[in-house]
Amino acid sequence: MKNYYYFLGVKENASEEDIKKAYRKLSLKYHPDKNPDDHFFETRFMEIKEAYEMLIDAEKRRIYDDNLSHQQRSYRPNLPPSIKFFSANKVRVQKGEEVIISWQTQNADIVKVLPFGLQKGYGEKVIRITEFQDGKFQLLLHVTNSLLNKTVVQGITITEIYENKSEEFRNDVENLFKPENPTSINPHGIPRLIRIIIALIMMLIVIIILWENFFN
């Protein structure tokens, strides 16, 4: 059973005004006219519209709440959630190429495949990736047991490949000079090429010092 409150991002005791506000905000964000030819946005918008039409009608919402409450009482596994498998038929693809992902979970009452939203506990989905970030696309499977308040997450990284090898080479060169995100190891976000050069210089200095000590 679909959780329409989750689709709208509101609590189960949300007021009519809360539901209207959430619907207006999300429908603007995911409207297909702003994202033409993108199946994800089209599907997400239909979910939001379906949820709004159910929850804004007082009688429909009352019946829905009764059914949702019954389902939550009847299916609340008391074992930790787990992921039996989460896989993709390919992890290196060209932009727009078809990818098939599949998953199976256990002891979970909320299952999400991000960025695509709520899913069944098991299934298969065909996707086409049209946008990569630094040549990568991240898929995450979130598996939650709300009774135990425990969540397990597993990820798949899809890497972009290029038809034109020169374009791939150019992208690799650009990444060498591109500042990286700051980390504990690289707090200033120094580009990878510069860090490699610094490491080589430091290694050369160490070799020279050892050489001088050996012969003196």
CATH label of the domain that carries residue 88 = 2.60.40.10
Average confidence (pLDDT) over 92-119: 90
Identify whether residues 126 and 177 lie together within a single domain: no
Identify whether residues 68 and 93 lie together within a single domain: no
pLDDT at residue 104 in the model: 93
Identify whether residues 66 and 93 lie together within a single domain: no
Identify whether residues 90 and 153 lie together within a single domain: yes
pLDDT in tens, 21-70: 999 999 888 888 877 777 777 888 888 999 999 999 999 999 998 887 77
Q: Give me 163's structure tokens.
A: 């038809």
CATH label of the domain that carries residue 65 = 1.10.287.110
Label residue 109 by pLDDT band (50, 70, 90). Answer: confident
Q: Give me 181's structure tokens.
A: 């995100």
Average confidence (pLDDT) over 174-193: 62
Identify whether residues 99 and 157 lie together within a single domain: yes
Identify whether residues 182 and 201 lie together within a single domain: yes
Alpha carbon 186 to chain centroid, angstroms: 25
Residue 31 structural domain = 4-74
Domain final position from 52, 74, 96: 74
150-160 and 136-145 as β-strands: parallel, antiparallel, unpaired? antiparallel
Average confidence (pLDDT) over 184-195: 64
Identify whether residues 68 and 133 lie together within a single domain: no
How many independent structural domains does the chain possess? 3
Query: Shortest CA distance to 43 belongs to which of 166, 109, 125?
Result: 125
